[in-house]
A and B are shown apart, each in its own frame.
Chain A
Amino acid sequence: MAAETKETGKMHARPLSPHLQIYRPQFTSVLSITHRITGVALAVGTLLLVWWLAAAALGEAAYARVGAFIDSPIGLLLLFGWSLALFYHLGNGIRHLFWDAGRGFDLPTAEKSGYAVIAFALAATLVAWVIGLAVLGGR
């Protein structure tokens, strides 16, 4: 990692700064890495979005296949995970935009907004699924 080549061509190891593992995870740092993890997960989740759109464009048989996948236990679990990740990333993304505008970056506010993001993600996921399942049940 911090290796450098000497004039002789030999590598010599530079001292490393204290590494990730020795830091105690803090609330704000956990939220930060969760933003990145949910972002990557959502990028993978676009596969389902594209499959769904392409299947709809292809016709009834393909649309029925993607529908059957979403209805399966694994499909529902993935969709639930992606909806939670989406609402988290959305809420925390707005938190980031406030920081970019220079607001709410002090630690007490950042911790409060962090709790607000978690509450929003859980509540929005719950509401979306309650309504979605109600719509499904009404068909």
Chain B
Amino acid sequence: MATIGKKSLRSDLGRVRGLGSAKDGTHHWWGQRVTAIALVPLTIWFVASIVGLAGAPLTALKAWVASPVVAVLLLALIVAVFQHARLGLQVVIEDYVHDEAVKIASLLAMNAAALLLGGVAALSILKLAFGG
């Protein structure tokens, strides 16, 4: 318990742990920002690249992804996109879905979808990169 005369309502232990009632601290907030910052250059690079690839045959796309730099940037894009989307959708679900069971089911389904879609995208990039 906080001692009398202190201004904060938080307990000493709560203050030391610094994680708040969600036991997660500012982790979610930071994750959303870090991925946002990463996505600024990655998105601009990706959009500029695929605009240049408009209507390109598969061989041209394969030749593009064959570059290790392109493949790694694409993988970074996919990781950042799905982590950013996952964190964002989590907040949207928490804000609008009030039934606890539906909320948990929605969060599980959304996280699973993000993980699986990200996995398919990443594996596809690797296959293209290795000339599959």
The answer on A and B forming one complex is yes
Contact A56 B124 (CB under 8 A): yes
Our pick among B33, B39, B40, B52 for the contact of A100 (Cβ within 8 Å) is B33
The interface on chain B, measured as residues whose beta carbon lies within 8 A of the other chain's beta carbons, has a size of 34
Is A90 an interface residue, CB under 8 A from the partner? yes
Chain B residue with Cβ nearest A131: B51
Bound Cα distance from A67 to B132, whole angstroms: 19
Cα(A112)–Cα(B50), bound, Å:
31
Does the CB pair B117–A46 fall under 8 Å? Answer: yes
A55-77 with Cβ < 8 A to chain B: 56-57, 59-60, 63, 67
**Interface flag for A40 (CB, 8 Å):** yes
Q: How far is the CB of A3 from chain B (nearest CB, A)?
A: 11
Q: A59 vs B59: C-alpha distance in the bound complex, in angstroms?
A: 10
Chain B residues, CB < 8 A from A1: 98
Choose one: A43, A90, A97, A133; the contact of B33 (CB below 8 Å). A97
Which of B37, B51, B85, B98 is close to A135, meaning CB atoms less than 8 Å apart? B51
Contacts A/B (CB < 8 Å), 22 sampled: A39-B89, A39-B92, A40-B92, A46-B117, A49-B121, A50-B117, A53-B120, A53-B125, A53-B128, A54-B124, A56-B62, A56-B128, A57-B123, A57-B127, A67-B55, A96-B36, A97-B37, A131-B51, A135-B52, A135-B54, A135-B55, A136-B54
